[in-house]
Amino acid sequence: MANVGVLGAGSWGTALSVLLSDNGHQVTVWSIDENEVKMLDEKREHELKLPGVKLPDDMVITGDLESTIKGKDFLVLAVPSPFTRSTAQKMSPFVAEGQIIVDVAKGIEESTLMTLSRQIEQEIPQADVAVLSGPSHAEEVGRRLPTTCVVGAKTRKTAEYLQSMFISNVFRVYTSPDILGIELGGSLKNVIALAAGIADGLGYGDNTKAALITRGIAEIARLGVKMGGKIETFTGLTGIGDLIVTCASVHSRNRKAGYLIGQGMSMQEAMDEVKMVVEGVYSAKAAAKLAQKYEVSMPIVDEVNAVLFEGKSPAEAVNDLMMRESRSENRSLNWEE
C-alpha cells in the first residue's frame, strides 16, 4: 500500500483518487477551494463535477497543502493546466528530494511554450516528474469502466513503479520514456477537439469528424516529431487514442465548447456554459506559436485560432480548410515512375 497525495479535486483528480483508493492505497486529496473541501468531506461526493461517484470514508480531504505532500510515496498533480505553475510554486517548499510527482493535466503554457512537466521541473527541481495520459474521461474512470493510459517517466524504474500503483482490472497502464510526445499529444488534441465540436455544432456529419481526426493527428505528429517526440507515441493511446475520444465523446468539455461555438456562441459564452476549464482554448495559441517556431504546417490549428480569437465565422473556417491548395496525402510516398 502506498500513501498518496492528490492535488486538485476536480473531476479527474477525484476519479483518480477513487481509483487509487480502490487499489488499496491511502489517499489524501487537497483542494485550494474551501467550499469544495467542505462539500467533499461532508457529502463524500463531488456533486458538481463527478456526481454519483462516492468517496471512501477513509479518504482524507483537506485544504492543507503541506500535510498533503509531506511523507507521501508519490503525488498526483491534477489541477487544470493554467494553474500548474502557480500550484507547483506553492508545493515546492514541501516536496522532498526525489519525491515523485505524476502530472495528469494536459496543456502548454502560452508565454513560455513549455509543457506541464517542464513547468513543474522548473519550479520543483528536486522532484522526479512523470506524466499520466490517454483516452480517459473522468466520468467513465469514476464509474470503473475499462480504460487504458500511459505513464511517461525519465526512468524505467519510476514508470514501472507508477504503473504498479495505478493498474487494476478496470485501468490498464502502459509505460513509455517519451514524456514530450505524450504531453504534446495530450495537449494538442484538445485544439483539434474544439474543431470537431465546431463541425458538430454546424451540423456536419461523420465524414467531417473522420477528416478532422485523421488530418488532426497528422498535424500533431508533424509538430511532435519535429520537436523530438516519437512517431510511435502519436499513433498510440496518448496520440490517436486520446484524440478519438476527445473529438467524439459526450463527456469532452473541448468538444462541447466547440459545439456551442459552432452553434453561434462566442468563446467566452461557450466556456461559461461548460463550467469547467476548456484546456484547448488555453493551448490553441501555444500550438500556433509552436507551429511557427518549428516551421510546421498546422491549418486546423490556425483556423481554430482564427475562430476563437479573430472573429472568423466557423463556416468560413471550414470552407477555407476544404479549399486549401490540392496536395498529396503523404509526401513521403513516391510514385513509381
Catalytic (active-site) positions: 189
The string of DSSP codes covering 159-204 is: HHHHHHHH-BTTEEEEEES-HHHHHHHHHHHHHHHHHHHHHHHTT-
Partners of 150 in beta bridges: 133, 174
The cell for 17 is 483518487
The cell for 293 is 517556431
The owner of cell 465540436 is 197
| Alpha carbons 290 and 298: distance in angstroms, whole number | 10
| Alpha carbons 100 and 12: distance in angstroms, whole number | 19
The cell for 131 is 506524466
Buried (b) or exposed (e) across 273-301, using 16+ Cβ within 10 A?
A: ebeebbbbbbbbbbbbebbeeeebebebb
